[in-house]
Structure 1
Amino acid sequence: MSSSALTREQSSKAFDGHQYVYNHESSTVGCKMKFGVYVPAKAEKERVPLLIFLSGLTCTEQNFITKSGVQRLASEYGFIVANPDTSPRGCKIEGDSDKWDFGEGAGYYIDATESKWSKNYRMFSYINEEFYELIVKNFNVNPNQIGIFGHSMGGHGALISFFKRPGQYKSVSAFAPICNASKSDWGINAYTKFFGQDKNLWKQYDATELVASYHGPKPHAPVLIDQGSDDNFKDKQLFPERFIDACKTASFPIELREQAGYDHSYYFIMTFLEDHFKYHKKEFEH
């Protein structure tokens, strides 16, 4: 899929590289999309690994690059780190900005089928086709060393991308992902609008459902998931234990670390972010 030219909105020196923000006209979602990309100095000389980070509800391309401290790690490990926006914006669809947990800022990384939403809310295809190809084409990425990870709704997005596109990503990990989206109140509200009442469509974008039918390459080390014990959403929206049970049934390797005292915030992410870099680095080396 071809992408239009990139327009640079921001360039900031950070450690040995640069944090950029670009926009482009997306043919997939039919509007202008923004994304962040950190490019370390190493990428000026050779192809380097790529990590794609997907953010959570209410986020834009700015949250991760301003709150996580990712630039230090990306520089140290020599990774390009790219993070798209979470949703189409400015499409002017009635109801897409009425609530914080649906629409703009809450695109759920799915391809909607209901006619009202299906033209623009195609974030699954955007992430895994247009955006993916745009980053690989325009930056010095090693195509054999690409991983995906994310937080909350973005953790859900990373997991479903890994399961639905076997072999496209070398590695996957997540912070407090929405593990069973078709059964959480957030997901039920969104999926009813995006897909209508056909719950078989809902299951196609639910990590707990997808792991059972996954037959692609398995990671060398169990997939890393970090979950804060004091996360207010854990038991009502995220359902990590359901995902763990499904992974065990499917013999899919998973490691869920419950981190005592941590909540759902970026303080949690910044604390354990380097562990995820280490995890992906080991997977890239196999």
Structure 2
Amino acid sequence: MMGRNPFTLIERHPCCGGEVHFLSHQSQELGLPARVSIFLPAKALAGDRVPAIHVLAGLTCTQETFLIKSNAIRHAADHGLALVAPDTSPRGADVAGEDDAYDLGTGAGYYVDATTDPWAAHYRMGSYVRRELPALVEEHFPIMAGRRGIMGHSMGGMGALAVALGDAGAWQTVSAFAPISSPSQVDWGHKVTDAYFGGHEAEWAQYDPCLLLEAGMTHPGTLLVDQGLDDEFLSRLQPERLEQAAKAAGQSLTLRRHEGYDHSYWFVQSFIQDHLKHHAEGLL
């Protein structure tokens, strides 16, 4: 039997035959109110449980960004899939300096659990997206338990790959757009090491997709990754490292490179249909 529904509805909008819900709830992992957006297709509104794809946005984004900008809803509706979009970080943690830079703190949770004060109390997006949020939406919405896919863009692509590789049995499908493939090796990740992890580089072992692959953590499905070759952050994203790590680990990877495409959601929109098809084939 379902327990008390912890979600508070902020807005509801009809969309593509289903509904988009903007919600908030008190997160046990974050110790703060958290916001999440959910798309429920027509089948779910009729009372049938459907699989869900969890979608993770990138730096500076919110729980609304991916659903509004990616055009994923139209294709999710065609396949009868739900979409679950968490925020990118805690809000209102009152950590000194959390609003000073776009790549650390507010909007930049990196889907990791901080281990060092003052960040450790609330910056626990790793556990939130891996465990707390999936369990809650599957209990309180018409979403199939344990029938999940995950995808993301940029920082969210990194998170999607890390979540799926770290617990392959819990996620049937995975894909990413322009992921930060090896965060421990670039300046974005160095800031995380110093702040969230207290300088301990070894903490990246459970969150860095390349390190996970190098440790033998693989996914039974194919990783679908799209990368624009005119991406202004290409040197930080390092798709070649992901390709090398996947090959060495025996991980099936489809890495598609696209001339002329940048890092924006115009790039994501261009190939989102392929990603929804990829997830539908593994979830339905």
Partner of 2:223: 223
| 1:159 Cα deviation after fit | 0.7
Q: C-alpha displacement at 1:135, in angstroms? A: 1.1
Cα distance in 1 between the residues matched to 2:210 and 2:99: 28
The whole-number CA distance in structure 2 between the counterparts of 1:175 and 1:283 is 18
Amino acid paired to 1:153: M
Secondary structure of 2:20 counterpart: strand
1:237-252 to structure 2, matched below 5 A, reads 237-252=236-251
Q: Does the C-alpha gap of structure 1 residues 48 and 4 become closer, same or farther in structure 2, counting only changes over 3 Å? A: closer
CA-based RMSD: 1.4
Which whole-Å CA distance do the structure 2 matches of 1:106 and 1:3 have between them?
A: 31
Partner SS, residue 115 of structure 1 = coil
Q: Is the contact between residue 29 and residue 124 of structure 2 (CA under 8 Å) also seen in structure 1? A: yes
* Partner residue in 1 for 2:27: 26
SS state at 1:28 partner: coil
Counterpart among 212, 216, 226 of residue 210 in structure 1: 212
- What SS does structure 1 have at the residue aligned with 2:102? coil
Q: 84, 87, 98: which is aligned to 1:85?
A: 87
Q: Give 3-state SS (helix, strand or coil) of 2:119's partner.
A: helix
In structure 2, the residue matched to 1:7 is 8
Q: Does 1:123 align with 2:125?
A: yes
1:72 alignment partner AA = R
Instruction: Quote the Cα distance in structure 2 between the aligned partners of 1:14 and 1:128.
Output: 27
Secondary structure at the residue paired with 1:130? helix
Q: How does 1:68-147 map to 2 (within 5 A)?
A: 68-147=70-149
1:192-235 per-residue CA deviation (whole Å, 9 max, x = no partner) reads 1111222111233211000122456511xx31100001001011
Residue in structure 2 matched with residue 194 of structure 1 by the alignment: 196
Cα deviation for residue 70 of structure 1 reads: 2.0
Q: Is the 8 A contact 2:48 2:142 kept in 1?
A: yes
Instruction: Confirm whether residue 17 of structure 1 aligns to residue 57 of structure 2.
Output: no
CA distance in 1, matches of 2:99, 2:54: 26
Deviations 1:78-120 (A, max 9, x none): 0000100000011111011110111000000001111211110
Distance 1:186 1:215 in 2: 23
Change in Cα spacing, 1:281 to 1:100, as seen in structure 2 (3 Å) is same
Q: What SS does structure 1 have at the residue aligned with 2:51?
A: strand
Q: Partner letter of residue 173 of structure 1?
A: S
Q: How does 1:251-270 map to 2 (within 5 A)?
A: 251-270=250-269
Q: Per-residue deviation at 1:3?
A: 8.7
Q: Over residues 158-217 of structure 1, what are the superposed CA-to-partner deviations in whole Å (9 max), with x where a residue is unaligned? A: 011011113010011000000000011111112211112221112332110001224565
Cross-structure match for 1:283: 282
Question: How far does residue 67 in structure 1 lie from its aligned partner after superposition?
Answer: 1.3
Amino acid at match of 2:172: K
Kept after mapping to 1: 8 A contact 2:9/2:22: yes
More deviation, 209-218/11-20: 209-218
Separation (CA, whole Å) in 2 of partners of 1:202 and 1:3: 36
Residue segments in structure 1 that go unaligned for 5+ positions in a row: none
Q: What CA distance in whole angstroms lies between the structure 2 residues aligned with 1:124 and 1:172?
A: 16
The runs of 4+ residues in structure 1 deviating greater than 3 Å are 214-217
The CA distance in 1 between the partners of 2:125 and 2:245, in whole Å, is 25
SS of 1:116's partner is: coil
Stretches of structure 2 lacking an aligned partner (at least 5 in a row) = none
In 1: Cα distance, 2:83 partner to 2:161 partner: 17
Q: Is the 1:163–1:214 contact (alpha carbons within 8 Å) kept by the matching residues of 2?
A: no
Amino acid at match of 1:203: A
Q: Secondary structure of 2:230's partner? A: coil
**How far apart, in 2, do the equivalents of 1:254 and 1:160 lie?**
14
Normalised by the length of structure 1, the TM-score is 0.95
Change (3 A) 1:38 1:158: same
Among all aligned residue pairs of Structure 1 and Structure 2, give the percentage whose two residues are the same amino acid.
39
Contact in 2 for aligned 1:162/1:168 (Cα 8 Å): yes
Letter in 1 for 2:53: L
